[in-house]
């Protein structure tokens, strides 16, 4: 398992993505899986950057582990920001037109649909969000 502690800023999404890509490339991760992971990183880390410490900036711990059986990447985002469970929000009704839909929630919905597992817990003053993607 590798770990990165980094400021929760939008500018650091690229750094987090490169950190995770380093692990994926060592295991010949398929391009499609990498793209899906990139979208999840962008959405999840972006939400932490925008909302967890607002208006301040805090630290996020990003853990990445590639497992063998099954071959998968497990990414964990840990922050000490405002408690927030993104999985508790009702999924958007994608059958409605853009004009009819409520604003927000589509990014988390995409993460839920593309990852094989996603979990959230608030423990010891920390938001812990974990995603898993098999490849």
Tell me how far apart the alpha carbons of residues 122 and 135 are, in angstroms, rounded to a whole number.
28
Q: What is the pLDDT of residue 100?
A: 61
What average pLDDT does this structure show over 58-81?
97
**pLDDT tens per residue across span 78-116:** 999 999 999 987 765 665 566 665 655 568 999 999 999
Q: What is the pLDDT of residue 107?
A: 80
What average pLDDT does this structure show over 122-130?
98
Q: What is the pLDDT of residue 48?
A: 97
Report the domain count for the chain.
Answer: 1
- 132 exposure class (CB count in 10 Å sphere: 0-12, 13-18, 19+): middle
CATH number of residue 120's parent domain: 3.30.565.10
Answer with the residue of higher pLDDT: 124 or 109.
124
Buried residues in 9-39 as b, exposed as e (16+ CB within 10 A): beebbeebbebbbebbeeeebeeebbebbee
Mean pLDDT of the chain: 92
Q: What is the pLDDT of residue 90?
A: 72
Q: What is the pLDDT of residue 63?
A: 98
State pTM to two decimals: 0.91
Pick from 103, 100, 102, 129: nearest CA to 8: 129
The answer to whether the beta carbons of residues 12 and 45 sit under 8 Å apart is yes
Q: How far is CA 48 from CA 44, 58, 106, 125, 134, in A?
A: 6, 9, 16, 15, 24
| Residue 72 pLDDT > 90 | yes
The range of the structural domain enclosing residue 59 comes to 2-134
């Amino acid at each position: 398992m590798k770990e990165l502690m980094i400021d929760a800023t939008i500018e650091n999404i690229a750094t987090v993505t490169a950190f995770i890509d380093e692990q994926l490339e060592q295991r010949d991760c398929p391009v499609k899986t990498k793209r899906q992971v990139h979208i999840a990183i962008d959405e999840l880390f972006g939400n932490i950057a925008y909302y967890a410490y607002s208006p301040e900036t805090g630290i996020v711990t990003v853990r990445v582990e590639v497992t063998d059986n099954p071959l998968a990447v497990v990414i964990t985002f840990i922050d000490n920001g405002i408690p927030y469970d993104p999985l508790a929000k009702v999924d958007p009704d994608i059958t409605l037109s853009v004009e009819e839909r409520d604003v927000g929630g589509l990014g988390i919905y995409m993460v839920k649909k593309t990852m094989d597992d996603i979990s959230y817990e608030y423990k010891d003053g920390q938001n812990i969000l974990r995603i898993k993607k098999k490849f």
